[in-house]
Structures are given as C-alpha cells and as structure tokens.
Amino acid sequence: MKTSQCIESRTPRVALFAGSFDPFTRGHESIVRRGLEIFDTVIVGIGVNPSKKPFMTADARKQWIESTFAGNERVKVIVYEGLTVDAARAHGAQFLLRGVRTAADFEYEQTIAITNRSLAGIETVLINTLPQLSHISSSLVRELLSHGHDVSQLIPPSAPIELLPTTL
C-alpha cells in the first residue's frame, strides 16, 4: 500500500499597502516588513492624486521604496490613480494592509475598512506602529527637511537620499 502525502494548496496571500509615501519613512518600512510575516507578498501602492502637488515625484518615490526592499522578491511597488480597492483588485491583492499610530488613526481606518469590505469584499489588516516609530510621519520628515534638519533617523537607511528634492 502506497502512502500518499496530502500537500496543502492555497492561494498566495497578497496585501496592498497603499499611501502617498511622500516620502516613505522607517514607520512605513516597519509596516511592510511586519506585513511580510503575515502575507506572501506585499504590494506597496503609491497613490497619486492629480489635484495635489507632491513633495517627491511618483517615480522618485517608487525608486526610493524599491531601493529600500532591493533583493526582496516578496515586495512589489506600483503607482496608481483612483480607488485603492480598484488597484488592489487589479493587482490580485485580497487584503489591504494599514498602519495605525493613534486612536484617531484607528477610527479613520475602521470606517475605510468597512467601506472597502462592502465595496469590494477586501479585508483590511491593521498593524500597530511600533512605539519607537509612532512619532514619524511623512509630513514631519518634510517639515524637518524644509528647515535644513537631518532626517536620516526617520527614513530607511538604504533609501537613496539623493532622490529627495533639493528645494522645498
């Protein structure tokens, strides 16, 4: 009698981590790395709003994030316009990944998560920001840069700093 092994087959778990990432910070990097403990692939989706003037170009942000995760085939980076749930569906993501720093973030994310689930059946997974990174935001990085301060402790160490604009 032959013994057969049952090999479990499952669909890879893919999450979209969406934001403007203008610029991508150590807090964002932490959410992606921790998301990889849950998901097979994390797609970092750079949302572009044509009515807003970004600090960094979408291409520069994409290069910045790709440099941060160079060599990690489980992280993909895309640029998209429109609804996040539409981008998730277009790229095969079954989940949205979000970072939460504060209770206010949670309230906002909960409302959006309910809406996204009802619109597209896509679940949202919230990851609490690590306490030592909870003060970091893209707007803080931009503000410090505008006053000539060093932001190296707030951005990923492998990020190509030369992609930051020289004038604000």
Place of tokens 């790229």: 91
DSSP 76: E
Note if 138 is an active site residue.
yes
Interatomic CA distance for residues 41 and 53, integer angstroms: 30
**Model confidence pLDDT, tens digit, residues 127-146:** 999 999 999 999 999 999 99
> What are the sequence ranges of the domains in the chain?
14-163
User: If we measure between CA atoms, which residue out of 71, 99, 70, 96 comes closest to residue 85?
Assistant: 96
**Model confidence pLDDT, tens digit, residues 59-114:** 999 999 999 999 999 999 999 999 999 999 999 999 999 999 999 999 999 999 99
Note if 10 is an active site residue.
no
Which CATH code is given to the segment(s) 14-163?
3.40.50.620
Catalytic residue (one of 28, 61, 76, 98): 28
Catalytic residue (one of 33, 101, 117, 142): 101
**Model confidence pLDDT, tens digit, residues 15-60:** 999 999 999 999 999 999 999 999 999 999 999 988 889 999 999 9
Catalytic residue (one of 61, 76, 98, 138): 138
pTM (2 d.p.): 0.91
Whole-number pLDDT of residue 67: 96
